[in-house]
A and B are shown apart, each in its own frame.
Chain A
Amino acid sequence: MSIIEDKKSLSNVKVVTANEAVALAVKCAKVDVGGAYPISPQTSIMEYLTKYIETENIPMEIVRVESEHSAMAVAMGAAAVGARAFTATASQGLLYMAEMVYWVGSSRLPVVMAITSRAMGAPWILGNEHTDVLLPREWGWMVLFPEDNQEVFDTIIQAYKLADTTLVPVVVGLDGFILSHTTMPISIPDQSIIDNFIPKNTPKPYALNTEDPFTHGNAVHSNLYLEFRHNIFKTIEDSEDLVDEIDKEWSKLTGRSYGGVIEEFLLDDAEVAVLVMGASSGDAKEAAKKVREKYGIKAGVIRLRSIRPFPVKRLSKIAQKVKAIGVFDRNMSPGLGGMIATEVKFALYDLKNRPIVQSYIGGLGGKDVKIADFENILVELKEMVDGKREVEKVKWVGLDLAAIEKFLEEV
Chain B
Amino acid sequence: MSIKGLQTEIKPQWCPGCTYFADLQAIYKTFLDLGFDETNLVLVGGIGCTGRITSYVDLYTIHTLHGRPLPVALGFKLANPKMNVVVVSGDGDLLSIGGTNFIHTARKNIDLTVIMFDNFVYGLTKGQVSPTSPHNLVTSTTPYGNLDEPVNPISLALISGATFVAQTFALDINHTFQVIKEAINHKGFSFVNILSPCITYYRSEDVKTFRNKIKQLNEQYLTDLAKAVYNSTSYEYYVGVFYKVEKPSFESYLLKDIVPLKSELYQKEKIKKLLKNYS
Chain A interfacial positions (CB closer than 8 Å to B): 36-40, 43, 46-47, 50-51, 54-55, 62, 64, 66-68, 92-93, 96, 121-122, 124, 404, 408, 411
Contacts and interface: CB of A to CB of B under 8 A. Distances in A.
Contacts of A37: 97
B122 A38 contact: yes
A76 B131 CA distance: 23
28 contacts: A36-B141, A37-B97, A38-B125, A38-B141, A39-B125, A40-B125, A43-B125, A46-B141, A47-B141, A50-B141, A54-B142, A55-B143, A64-B128, A64-B129, A64-B142, A64-B148, A66-B97, A66-B131, A67-B66, A67-B96, A68-B97, A96-B66, A96-B97, A122-B65, A408-B275, A408-B276, A411-B268, A411-B272
Contacts of A68: 97
B240 interface: no
B143 A92 contact: no
B257 to A, nearest CB: 34
Interface in B147-166: 148
B211 interface: no
A122 B148 CA distance: 33
Interface of B: 63, 65-67, 96-97, 99, 122, 125-126, 128-129, 131, 140-144, 148, 268, 272, 275-276, 279
Contacts of B148: 64
A66 B96 contact: yes
B218 to A, nearest CB: 34
Contacts of A67: 66-67, 96-97
Nearest to A411: B272
A64 to B, nearest CB: 5
B143 A404 contact: no
Nearest to B128: A38
A50 B279 CA distance: 44
Given A40-B125, A43-B125, 12 more contacts: A38-B122, A38-B141, A46-B141, A50-B140, A50-B142, A62-B141, A64-B141, A66-B96, A66-B131, A122-B65, A124-B63, A408-B279
Given A64-B128, A66-B99, A67-B67, A408 B272 contact: yes
A66 B268 CA distance: 39
- Residue picked from A36, A38, A47, A121, most chain B C-beta under 10 Å: A38
B66 A92 contact: yes
A122 to B, nearest CB: 8
A404 B272 CA distance: 11
B103 to A, nearest CB: 13
Contacts of A124: 63
Nearest to A70: B97
A395 to B, nearest CB: 21
B65 A121 contact: yes
A73 to B, nearest CB: 13
Nearest to B64: A122
Q: Which 8 residue pairs across A and B have the least CB separation, nearest first?
A: A38-B125, A67-B97, A66-B96, A54-B144, A54-B143, A38-B128, A47-B140, A50-B141
Contacts of A92: 65-66
A15 B231 CA distance: 53
A40 B140 CA distance: 14
A51 B144 CA distance: 9
A92 B68 CA distance: 12
A143 to B, nearest CB: 24
A124 B48 CA distance: 12
Contacts of A121: 65
Contacts of B122: 38
Contacts of B279: 404, 408
Contacts of B66: 67, 92-93, 96
A404 B144 CA distance: 49
A391 B275 CA distance: 32
A408 B272 CA distance: 7
Nearest to A42: B125
B256 to A, nearest CB: 34
B156 to A, nearest CB: 13
Nearest to B131: A66
A96 B65 CA distance: 10
Contacts of B128: 38, 43, 46-47, 64
A93 B148 CA distance: 23
Contacts of B131: 66
A47 B96 CA distance: 18
A67 B141 CA distance: 14
A404 B279 CA distance: 8
Contacts of A47: 128, 140-141
Nearest to B95: A66
- Residue picked from A40, A50, A122, most chain B C-beta under 10 Å: A50
A228 B126 CA distance: 43
A292 B67 CA distance: 52
A411 B276 CA distance: 12
A50 B142 CA distance: 7
